[in-house]
Amino acid sequence: MSNNEPPPPYGSPPPPGEGGAYPPYTAPGGQGGGYGGYGYPQPGYGYQPAPQQSVLAIVSLVSGIIGLAGVCCCGFLGVVGVVAVICGILAKKEIRESHGAKSGDGLALAGIITGGIGIALGIASVVLVFALGAFDYSYYG
């Protein structure tokens, strides 16, 4: 290339015979080189997707919390704790049988515990209401 010629356009290969080109890379074993295929590498053998949350475990925890909050407002709402305990037990069984495909064992356990507390407090509040005579109908008669 002489000084009077304009440079080649951007992205064009260098003219043949110039010392600016590098030879292609070859691996130490004489194998052809390069960087391999395009894109991201594929996951290796044994790849497993992240475990999915158990819906029953979430339902158990939410109903257990509602049962606890319901005892504070109205003692009879503690019966919702029964739903929490049943869903929690079913969720633990479902998670155990999924062999790692589902998660949420802690949520299910928390649902069972909060549901049990809600049931106990609900029963205690009902007994307390009847023991203290909150339904005194002599006032109306």
Can you tell me the distance from the alpha carbon of 68 to that of 78, in angstroms, rounded to the nearest whole number? 6
Q: Quick check: helix, strand or coil at residue 6?
A: coil
- Split at pLDDT 50, 70, 90, the class of 100 is confident
Angle CA 78–66–103, to nearest 5: 115
Can you tell me the distance from the alpha carbon of 41 to that of 74, in angstroms, rounded to the nearest whole number? 58
In this prediction, residues 110-118 reach a mean pLDDT of 95
Q: Quick check: helix, strand or coil at residue 36?
A: coil
Q: Largest Cα–Cα distance of the chain, in whole Å?
A: 120
Name the DSSP letter for residue 21: P
> Locate tokens 């790849």: which residue?
47
- Split at pLDDT 50, 70, 90, the class of 86 is very high
In this prediction, residues 39-44 reach a mean pLDDT of 59
Two tokens at 18?
A: 């110039």
Q: Which of 21-30, 51-60, 118-127 has the lowest mean pLDDT?
A: 21-30
DSSP secondary structure of 51-105: PEEPHHHHHHHHHHHHHHHHHHH-GGGGGHHHHHHHHHHHHHHHHHHTTTSEE-H
Reply yes or no on whether the pLDDT at 3 is more than 80: no
Q: Which of 57-61, 131-135, 136-140 has the lowest mean pLDDT?
A: 136-140
The identity of residue 121, as a single letter, is L
Q: Which of 41-50, 83-92, 125-134 has the lowest mean pLDDT?
A: 41-50
In this prediction, residues 21-46 reach a mean pLDDT of 57
In this prediction, residues 92-99 reach a mean pLDDT of 94
